[in-house]
Structure formats: structure tokens, C-alpha cells
Amino acid sequence: MNILFYGYGSAASDWTKTLSRLLPQASIRIWEPGDASPADYLIVRNPPPAMLAARAGLKAVFNLGAGVDALLRLRAEHDCPALDQALVIRLEDAGMGVQMVDYVSHAVLHFQRRFHEYERQQRAAVWQPLPVTPKAAFPVGVMGAGVLGGEVAAGLCRLGFPVRIWSRTAKEIAGCTSFAGSEQLPAFAQDLKALVNLLPLTAATRGILNTTLFDRLADGAFLINVARGAHLVDDDLLAAIRRGKINAARLDVFNAEPLPAGHPFWQEPAVYLTPHTSAENDMTQSLEQIADRIQAIETGQPVTGVVNWQDEY
Ligand code: GLV
């Protein structure tokens, strides 16, 4: 069995060495430009088009991440028949769930307990206790109820927030109120105090964090985006902040990454940003998951996490 790996620059050999221990029977190599030798499986993170061009006979392409929008773009812009012929499989959790729950819980609590305002008060040497909206009156909406969105919604429920989830097709998560489809988006968003985005990036979700949606939220609501920068219309957020519709935002992802010097988010006091670090997949857990799936495919067993290009995730 031949496995071709691409990603993580100089750390790629750490990944391939770990994978060799999990799949001792496999021949594993790191892709170099010009390598068109046969492979059964690709394991990739943001692969160059040349790696996929004219490649046939693949059984599966494993994406080293939850979001497959980079592969979707590759498929749209380049001739990559392999992406239609082979199974394309995303990581599920792989260590990211707990980090995402921590990141979003911290952000929601930070805003609900008004720590962002205490930071400002401290800089101005102001001693002024501020009233807090109780959790029961602080509904949080989670967009995207897949593996990570589901874990985040359940985590926020455990913290005692009323949680609504919104997804393309109806999902059930214990303790959460479920909304689905574009027709239920306004009811989902109505009067939310905090909106959390964990959607996959597709044609239908690009730019979904926009003025129309913000106008449904409670006045002075909070936005947390941990999915993709292209979900957000940056100018709509800045305008919503200026008119007080949105009090503050916690952003981990951006339309252009790294966020370009001079982008207004750098200087906007109501924007709290991190450099796409909300959740990093764990190497061992990712490779164990991939190795298990390779064994399953080799023995004709079903696997989860398979991308459906019709749905774009
Ligand atoms: C990270 O952004 C991922 O898609 O896993």
C-alpha cells in the first residue's frame, strides 16, 4: 500500500514516522514536485494542484483538518479528477473538539461576565462593578451542528446557557433548541445575545454573517467566528459595531490570513482576534483516525467523515 503525504513543511517527517508505526505494512513518502508515482492514499493539508493533477487509482484522500474548503476550491479551479473518483475524508474531532469547546466557552463567558469592559476600566483606573445578564437570559446560538459545532453546543448547555443550534438539515443535541434551513434562520437568530459560527464554508454559507443576520440579534450582541473568514462580511461587522448592534466580536479566522497589516480589525477595540488557533488537530489522534479508516477501507468496512461534493462538505 502506497501513501503519499503533503503538509506541515519541515515537520512532515514527524507525521510520516508516526504513521509508519501505525501502518508498518505501508510504504509512506512525502510528496515532492514531480512525484507522479502511483499511490493508494493521499494525506494532505492544503495540497498544491500539481499533487492531485492527473492522479488516478486513488482509494481515498484524507484532509488534515475539519474544513475541506481548500479541496473544494482546488476541485473548482483545477483539473483534479482524483477528488471525484476517490473518497475524500475529513478529520472528525481528532483533538479539536475539546479545544473548540474551551475557546468558545471562554469567549462567551468573557463577554457575558463583561471582562472586556473591565479590561477597559482597568486601563482607565476605574473601579466600577457592572451588572451581569444572568446566563438564563443570555441565549447563545451555534451555527453548524456537525462534530465540532455539536460539541460546542453541548458544552455551552453544560455551562447553563440556553442554546439554539442551526444547521442545513435538522440535528438533535440534548438540551438545545434546533433550527434548520434558511427559512428558520431568522427565528434561530432572533434576540440572541451571542452568535457562534462553526459552519462549513460552502456557496450557501459564504457571507452568511452579514447585516441581515446581525439585525435579528439582540442589540449589543456578541459574535464569535471560529469557522472561516469568508463566512463574515467584514464591513457589515464594522458597521454593526459602530451602530451598537454588535457590542464586540471574537474572531479566529479571516478573509485573508495572515490578517493583512492595515486591516481595520487590527485597530478596532471591539474586535478580539487570534491567529487561526482556536483548535489544532492532534497529530497522533489524527493519524490514528486515518490509519483506522485505511484499515476499514482495505477490509470493505464503512467509514465516517466522507465528503459529499453536492453539499460541499
Ligand atoms: C481548521 O481550520 C480545520 O479545518 O480543521
Q: What's the per-residue H, E or C state across 71-92? A: HHHHHHHCCCCHHHHCEEEECC
Q: Is residue 128 in a domain?
A: yes
Query: Which residue segment(s) compose the domain that 47 sits in?
Result: 2-94+281-298
Angstrom distance (rounded) from CA 56 to CA 86 = 9
List the chain residues with pLDDT less than 50.
none
Same domain, 248 and 164: yes
Atom 1 of ligand 1, nearest CA residue = 65
Of ligand 1's listed atoms, the one at least distance from the Cα of 228 is: 2
- Would residue 227 count as lying in a domain? yes
Please state, in angstroms and rounded to a whole number, the distance separating the CA atoms of residues 129 and 140.
Answer: 24
Does any domain span residue 37?
yes
Residue 269 and residue 125 share a domain: yes
pLDDT (tens digit per residue) in 246-270: 999 999 999 999 999 999 999 999 9
161 and 255 in one domain?
yes
Interacting residues of 155 by C-beta distance below 8 A, sequence separation 6+: 101, 104, 105
Indicate if 239 and 290 belong to the same structural domain: no
Spatial contact of 198 and 177, defined as CB atoms under 8 Å apart: no
Ligand 1 touching residue 66 (CB < 6 A): yes
CA of 54 to the centre of ligand 1 (A): 26
In this structure, the answer to whether residues 265 and 286 fall within a common structural domain is no
Residues 6 or more apart in contact with residue 169 via CB below 8 angstroms: 180, 181
Burial class (CB in 10 A: 0-12, 13-18, 19+), 303: middle
Do 263 and 129 lie in one domain? The reply is yes
Same domain, 235 and 186: yes
Has residue 88 been placed in a domain?
yes
pLDDT digits (tens, 9 = 90+) for 277-287: 999 999 999 99
From the centroid of its chain, how far is CA 119? 28
Q: Tell me, what's the pLDDT at 54? A: 82
Query: Domain for residue 84, yes or no?
Result: yes
Same domain, 90 and 101: no
Q: Is the CB of 65 under 6 A from ligand 1?
A: yes
286 shares a domain with 267: no
> Hey, whose CA ends up nearest to atom 5 of ligand 1?
65
Ligand 1 center–CA 162 separation, angstroms: 27
One domain, residues 81 and 181: no
Tell me, yes or no, whether 71 lies in a domain.
yes
- Domains of the chain: total: 2
Give the DSSP H or E segment for 296.
helix 283-298
In a domain, 215, yes or no: yes
pTM of the model: 0.96
| Ligand 1 close to Cβ of residue 67 (< 6 A) | yes
Are residues 6 and 112 located together in one domain of the fold?
Answer: no
- C-beta of 229 in contact with ligand 1 (< 6 A): no
Q: Looking at the domain assignment, is residue 305 inside a domain?
A: no
Helices 283-298 and 12-22: angle between axes, nearest 10 degrees: 50
Percentage of residues in the chain with pLDDT exceeding 70? 100
> Residues 187, 113: one domain?
yes
The CATH number that applies at residue 39 is: 3.40.50.720
